Structure 1
Amino acid sequence: MDLTQLEMFNAVAEEGSISAAARRVHRVPSNLTTRIRQLEADLGTELFIRENQRLRLSPAGHSFLAYSRQILELVSEARTVVAGDAPQGRLALGSLESTAAVRIPGILAEFNQRYPRIQLDLSTGPSGGMIDRVLEGSLAAAFVDGPLLHPALEGVAVFDEEMVIIAPAGHPPITRARDVNGASIYAFRANCSYRRHFESWFHEDGAMPGKIHEMESYHGMLACVIAGAGLALMPLSMLESMPGSHQVSRWALTTPWRTLTTWLIWRRGARTPQLDAFSSLLPEK
């Protein structure tokens, strides 16, 4: 087993095909096929399930991928330390959409100016998806809604978000969930922590939302609420950043539902120089 084999294995695992992986690592497909077979023989197990022209990871392959990524990250870190250079390489960062839109643009700009040799790859999504990707190793870190509960993760609280319910203009006051029992709501998919928070707010008061319409963006939610089609929950900072925010009424939730804390999380024991560089720019909470 050598580092080149691990790089090839990672490429095939992430691309799902030999041809796409070969383009990524600038090798011919036959070379990748041979090296992957050699790696499987060395490990004594099949890392991929082969189906026509596609490959998907076997259970053993899933386990090995986490270790392979960690090995390559450690090698990159060791090279940086030995060379005594400024941090370089790749930082795959995940974020809630609202955090990416409102909280970190200035931090990202400063990071790119201060650490030009680090390639920052940012992706957005709900907390559940971001946590899964950090655990599997495809993200080095992610901004998610707290609290931090998973034993394989560690992190730091970064931002407090005031959550507000938005309703069509002129809507009667919303002081508790029973005031809007049965109302249609607009939210992200089921693995979104803000959606779970909204549903829990209803259930705690013995109420139920009506139809839950799944949306892909806060702008879509806002447009539907402006049109009078239902309610939505979002961070106040996000609402105030969007054109049209003045066209809805807003109602703050009562304690303990009012505030949610955004955390930056990473795999336990897996901090890298790239992540340290990024973390140094975050505000102290």
Structure 2
Amino acid sequence: MDLQALRFFQAVAELGSISKAAREMNYAQSNLTARIQQLESDLQTKLFYRHNRGTTLTDKGKALLSYTYEIFQLLDEIQNVMSDDQTPKGPLLIGSMETTAAVRLPTILSKFHREYPAVDLTLKTGPTEQNVQGVLQYELDGAFVAGPIEHPELTFKTIIEEDLVLITDTIHHRLSSIKEIQNRTILVFRNGCSYRARFEEWLQHEGVIPEKIMEFGTLDGIIGCVSAGLGISLLPRSVVDKHMKDNQLIQHPIPNKFGKVKTIFVYRKDKYISTSLRIFIEMLSNDNTTINNSTLV
């Protein structure tokens, strides 16, 4: 099968137009049209419906598109295996929750970069759900997420168990019941964040409906607004310890059932583990004490 024709097909399928795909790939539109027609002839099936707005995949076209992702991923895998001479080098894309990146990772990432400068290490932060999808879609080599994660295509290594705390500004009275926050605004990361999911699970369990939910994209944004009295939040103790010591925040007790969450490192079972990723995982195991004892500075 013509791999270039498959790439043309994939581009047209994703962009919804032969003309757009031709511009994107810097090929003549007539060339793409001819190659796709030849592909349809070889496969003896229609892959696209053509209309004045562009193209739409047929059912057979949708099936082929899913296979193209697997084919090109496998080709990339072959290239990675063949080019891996057991020397840590090249790109390494790691995902992480914002809180883990702020507190747990600076020391380990600094050490890894110092010992393996030929590795182009990139850290992308986002909520657990986003990071898991990034690993599943081969966009990330691995990611630090909140456990448990049970997926047949993923394996994981437990990094640490975090204690979660409910935080408010310092002038807030001591809470004796979660029902007292019924009229308060809760400050959370966007959907997909495991801490937000745990907070909402706790509130639902207690039958509490917050007055308002405000979403933030950064940890500093949440902490700053809680400190200013805008609302309350649920975050790992390791993240807010320094702010409590500086009398910017106070914490309130929460039930054990909702107060623990494991941070795990997930990666695909079926993907070739490059030398860079293997050494990174080994460093996580060897430096577990360093990770556990990290503090926000």
What TM-score bracket applies, with the shorter chain setting the length?
A: 0.7 to 0.9
Which residue of structure 2 aligns with residue 75 of structure 1? 78
Question: C-alpha deviations, 1:3-26, integer Å up to 9, x for none?
Answer: 77788888899999647864xxxx
SS in 1 for 2:256: coil
SS in 2 for 1:174: coil
Asked whether the equivalents of residues 185 and 209 of structure 1 are also in contact (C-alpha less than 8 Å), the reply is: yes
Partners of 1:235 and 1:51 lie apart in 2 by: 54
Does the aligned pair in 2 maintain the 1:155–1:266 contact within 8 Å?
yes
2:284 aligned partner, one-letter code = L
Q: C-alpha deviations, 1:216-243, integer Å up to 9, x for none?
A: 1121112221221210111122224669
Q: Measured at CA, do residues 18 and 91 of structure 1 come closer, stay the same or move farther in structure 2, by a change above 3 Å?
A: farther
- Pairs aligned (count): 278
Cα root mean square deviation, aligned: 3.8
- Mapping of residues 195-210 of structure 1, within 5 Å: 195-210=196-211
> Any idea what SS the aligned residue of 2:192 has?
coil
Amino acid at match of 2:107: G
Q: Deviations along 1:68-109, whole A, 9 cap, x unmatched? A: 45313421332135xx34033322221111111211122222
Alignment correspondent of 2:282? 280
Deviation at 1:178, TM superposition (A): 2.0
What is the 5 A alignment of 1:246-257? 246-257=247-258
Sequence identity percentage: 31
Q: Which amino acid aligns with 2:279?
A: A
Q: Secondary structure at the match of 1:281?
A: helix
Larger radius of gyration: 2
Aligned mates of 2:50, 2:81 — CA distance in 1: 33
- Give TM-score scaled by structure 1 length: 0.79
Give the match for residue 190 of structure 1: 191
Aligned-partner Cα distance in 2 for 1:145–1:126: 9
CA separation of 1:11 and 1:158: change in aligned 2, threshold 3 A: farther
Give CA-to-partner distance per residue, 1:48-69, whole Å, 9 cap, x none: 999979999x744652354145
1:177 maps to a residue whose letter is I
131-140 or 186-195: which moved more?
131-140
After superposition, residues 1-285 of structure 1 pair within 5 angstroms as 1=1, 18=21, 22=25, 28-30=26-28, 33=32, 37=36, 41=40, 46=47, 59-60=62-63, 63-64=66-67, 66-81=69-84, 84-240=85-241, 246-273=247-274, 274-283=276-285
Show CA shifts across 1:19-48 (max 9, x none). Answer: 7864xxxxx444995898489556667499
CA contact (8 A) 2:226 2:232 kept: yes
Q: Is the 8 A contact 2:49 2:55 kept in 1?
A: no
> Are 1:100 and 1:124, in contact at CA under 8 Å, matched by a contact in 2?
yes
Structure 2: gaps (5+ residues): 289-297
Gaps of 5+ in 1: 23-27
User: How far 1:262 moved relative to its partner?
Assistant: 0.9
